[in-house]
Amino acid sequence: MPFTVSEFRDLVQLLKTMPEWKEELRRLILTDELLALPASVERLEEKVDELGGMADELGGQMVELGKKVGRLDARTVRLEEKTDRLEQKTDRLEEKTDELGRKVDKLDSRLERVEGDVGTLKGWGLEARYRENPGSFFRALLRSPRKTRDLDKILEDAVDHGLLAATEADEILRADLVLQGLDRQSGALRYLVVEISWGVGETDVERAKRRATLLSRVPRMDSLAAVAGHWIGPAARGRARHLGVCCVIDGIVDGSE
């Protein structure tokens, strides 16, 4: 039997007066999912509200983070500026250090020249002392030591007779001091070729030995080699002992052949 419009209107009116029937009819017509939809929507709205609050809080945190990042950027810029200034100061310091190093090098060079000049002057003064009074310094090596006379003529004759080359004669004449005296054991005439230096080195020792050897090639001019000075280094002392060169240090005989 079909449901008429009039009957529908009577049903609507009845439902208005009987709310419990309305609820029962709703349960019959709607599914459980649809009935639960309002509650679900309400919970969803609560979650949306909660999420909105969290979003607001996160937004605030982002704003605060942005401020901190901004302050960090500003600090970074200041740090970079300070770093640039420090690098500039470091560059200037390096330039000044380099300049100071160059000045120190120049000063060292000047000091070396001064030391060399002073050493030369001291050597000249010491040489003058030995020349003026050879007897007081070399008596332990020769009896009555005195400067050799006519050494130039003796060497010229040796060159003329082919005993020495001219350059070898010149080498002997460049010796600081050539003395003659009597050998303390045999009494024979002997010569002493002396190299004088404030500080005696290996070069002085070798030069004295070489010049004494050349002079010994001249007949009746058997020669000894000696070095004299204010001090002598260990290497030079050892070299002198090896070559048989006498050492006179501060006027005292330090070794003999």
Below-50 pLDDT ranges, the chain: 114-118, 121, 256-257
**What is the pLDDT, as a whole number, of residue 227?**
95
**What is the pLDDT, as a whole number, of residue 203?**
95
Contact yes or no for 147/131 (Cβ under 8 A): yes
Nearest alpha-carbon partner for 245 in 257, 230, 234: 257
Which residues, at least 6 apart from 222, have a Cβ–Cβ distance to it below 8 Å?
188, 189, 190, 191, 216
The span from the CA of 186 to the CA of 156, in Å, is 29
Predicted TM-score of the model (pTM) = 0.53
The percent of residues above 90 in pLDDT, for the chain, comes to 39
Owner of token pair 């001090």:
231
Q: The domain 133-255 is classified under which CATH number: 3.90.15, 2.60.40, 1.20.120, 3.40.1350?
A: 3.40.1350
**What is the pLDDT, as a whole number, of residue 256?**
42
**What is the pLDDT, as a whole number, of residue 114?**
47
Helix spans in the chain (H): 5-17, 19-29, 32-132, 135-138, 151-160, 166-173, 202-215, 234-243
Average pLDDT, the chain: 82
